[in-house]
Structure 1
Amino acid sequence: MITLTTERLRLRPWTLDDVDFLFDMYSRWEVQRFIGRDPLVMTDRAEAIERAERLSSMEHPVHGIWAITELETGHPHGALLLKDLPASGSDHPLPPSGETEIGWHLHPDAWGRGYATEAATRVLQHAFDSGLDRVLAVTHPQNTASQRVALRIGMSDLGITEEYYNVTCSLFGIDRPVS
């Protein structure tokens, strides 16, 4: 997975050095409350170790789940993902929909600073430069903060859907700009 940079941020692969941050971020209800059908907080550091191992082993030429870090200090702020969007269904794991999803999870200390918008804008550029034609975002219908990020990065509100993740979600999309 490649490292991406912006004016203030470095989006880099996760490492085992990120375990404490992952545990801190994903053990918070305010971070987890809008993620998935039955949100759960991380309660055991072993879960963070497993997640760090899984994230650090990801290799894909375009997709990734990046650690959002401060460019100058390396301080972590959250996660930015670009991945296959699972369709709704009865299979486990859920089947791929053929669509690509962008999403963000930020530590509460990083909220309101524009990091999600800045990181997502850079990852969208990477996605389109790599040949993707369309990227979607799904949010919990009450997650207005993430919906504002989706709109700020140029996505269109496509309404409410139940096509993904077996949940009702607000759907946003953006097509690759014509050059």
Structure 2
Amino acid sequence: MVEAISTERLVLRRARIEDVAAMHRIMRDPLAMRYWSTLPHESIDTTADWVRSMIDPPPGSDDFIVTLDGQTIGKIGAWQLPDFGYLLDPAQWGRGYASEALAAFLAHRRREGSEFLTADTDPRNTASIRLLQRHGFAETGRAAKTWLIGGEWFDSIYWRRDL
């Protein structure tokens, strides 16, 4: 298993228990979590459980913590391949880090022998949609009311990219 992937500005590495505080800061932020699959984390224990699940993942998982200058700024990867996702600190948005991390993750999965990756975005998440399109993902379908999060229904656009 690849432990780390370096890019020009980032290091994607496996999760450590020391990531809990930084990931909690991100995952308690309503802006960061607006299109995530859960509500913002109210408790650091929730984030700690989430990080522990990355440290001891199930088969078919390939998740990384994204770091910048040694600081945790998010995550990218697959809880269950081929479906993957990413989450970055809103303070880091607009600087190209998501694109850089995604390019590195795609190259990694190609080297690991994946034939394709899939993603699911909310139709309102235009930044994520543009990111996936720039990296060669094609829309494969849409569905209404696919996620019920905090009493609110969210729709999905499904994406695929052959590697």
Q: Which TM-score band applies after superposition, normalised by the shorter structure?
A: 0.7 to 0.9
Aligned alpha-carbon RMSD (Å): 2.2
Tell me which of 61, 64, 87 is aligned to 2:62.
64
What CA distance in whole angstroms lies between the structure 1 residues aligned with 2:78 and 2:6?
15
Higher share in strand: 2
Q: What's the % identity of the aligned pairs?
A: 26
TM-score norm. by structure 1 comes to: 0.79
Residue number in structure 2 paired with 1:129: 111
Tell me which of 77, 80, 94 is aligned to 1:81.
77
State the 1:59 CA deviation: 6.6
Unpaired stretches in structure 1, ≥5 consecutive residues: 86-99
Residue number in structure 2 paired with 1:7: 8
> Deviation per CA, 1:11-40, whole angstroms, max 9, x where unpaired?
00111111111110100111112122xx41
Letter in 1 for 2:64: W
SS in 1 for 2:31: helix
State the 1:121 CA deviation: 1.0
SS in 1 for 2:160: strand
Residue number in structure 2 paired with 1:28: 29
> Deviation per CA, 1:54-104, whole angstroms, max 9, x where unpaired?
2122275x741111001xx2111111012426xxxxxxxxxxxxxx11211
TM-score norm. by structure 2 comes to: 0.86
What CA distance in whole angstroms lies between the structure 1 residues aligned with 2:11 and 2:90?
18
What CA distance in whole angstroms lies between the structure 2 residues aligned with 1:29 and 1:5?
29
> Deviation per CA, 1:108-147, whole angstroms, max 9, x where unpaired?
1111111111111111111112111111111011111111
